[in-house]
Amino acid sequence: DVKVTQSSRYLVKRTGEKVFLECVQDMDHENMFWYRQDPGLGLRLIYFSYDVKMKEKGDIPEGYSVSREKKERFSLILESASTNQTSMYLCASSPPLAGGNTDTQYFGPGTRLTVL
Amino acid sequence: DQQVKQNSPSLSVQEGRISILNCDYTNSMFDYFLWYKKYPAEGPTFLISISSIKDKNEDGRFTVFLNKSAKHLSLHIVPSQPGDSAVYFCAANTGGFKTIFGAGTRLFVKA
């Protein structure tokens, strides 16, 4: 059974703190993604990675960075947390894109981050 | 500007009836469309997809219809069951890594 796990379900941090969100997948997927989900806005892509040490900006990368040192692990880093980064963070993984596109992503359960 | 729009935040349907969830998009370059389902405290799970070269795809109780000229797709659930109560996200992709998601529609199926 495929699985994507995230290190915390709930996290409370203070403004200015450095925050690490960890994601691990056991499906040997090449691609990994970080989204944030906010009411009325759906899921918005922060960063993605298509290989170890490779990363690409998504639609809302400001204030975030990522790290992918191992294939199975993709970390999201908030360098200096701010209150507007309070959100639900979702990690996902997918196999390599094929011709015809089978972009089915497998999501973790999410981390609800509150920045005070 | 949202490229994928789900204009109904919520929908309530009686068990056994049809649920129709709608989605509009603006980018004519999208060539693949997906629906994901999300229960509380869980991540979204893939439900059904359709390529832009088709106008219908069916999987059991779930059917997705695509109207390219209207830039509109819909998800039909027949018959609806209480276990279908969840948030449904419409998503679209141009064949690359970026998938654009709508805001979601919360479906309530009443027993």
How confident is the model at residue A71, as a pLDDT?
A: 95
- Residues A56, B97: C-beta atoms closer than 8 Å: yes
User: Residue B41: which of A33, A35, A109 has the nearest Cβ?
Assistant: A109
Q: How far apart are CA A31 and CA A7, in angstroms?
A: 19
Least confident of A28-32, B16-20, B61-65, B66-70: A28-32
φ, ψ of residue A21 to 5 degrees: the values are: -115, 125
**Hey, what's the torsion of the CAs at B36, A13, A51, A70, to 10 degrees?**
-120
- Percent of chain B residues topping a pLDDT of 90: 88
Confidence band of B36 (pLDDT split at 50, 70, 90):
very high
Q: Using 50 as the pLDDT threshold, list the residues of chain A that sit under it.
A: 100
Least confident of A75-89, B9-23, B84-98: B84-98
How confident is the model at residue A98, as a pLDDT?
A: 61
Q: Does B96 touch chain A (CB under 8 A)?
A: yes
User: Residue B46: which of A50, A58, A104 has the nearest Cβ?
Assistant: A104
What pLDDT digit, counting tens, does each position of B41-55 carry?
899 999 999 999 999
Q: How far apart are CA B36 and CA A35, in angstroms?
A: 14
How confident is the model at residue B98, as a pLDDT?
A: 87
Q: Does B98 touch chain A (CB under 8 A)?
A: yes
Residue B16 predicted with pLDDT over 70? yes
Contact A89, A21 (CB under 8 A): yes
Name which of B98, B105, B106 to mutate to probe chain A: the one with the most chain A Cβ atoms within 10 A of its Cβ: B98
Q: For residue B100, give the nearest of B36, B19, B10, B39 by alpha carbon.
A: B36
Average pLDDT taken over every residue of chain B = 94
How confident is the model at residue B95, as a pLDDT?
A: 76
Neighbours of A10 (CB within 10 A): 9
Q: How far apart are CA A73 and CA B85, in angstroms?
A: 32
- Residues B46, A40: C-beta atoms closer than 8 Å: no
- Residues A105, B98: C-beta atoms closer than 8 Å: no
CA separation, residue A57 to residues A5, A54, A74, B27, B60 (Å): 22, 11, 14, 20, 37
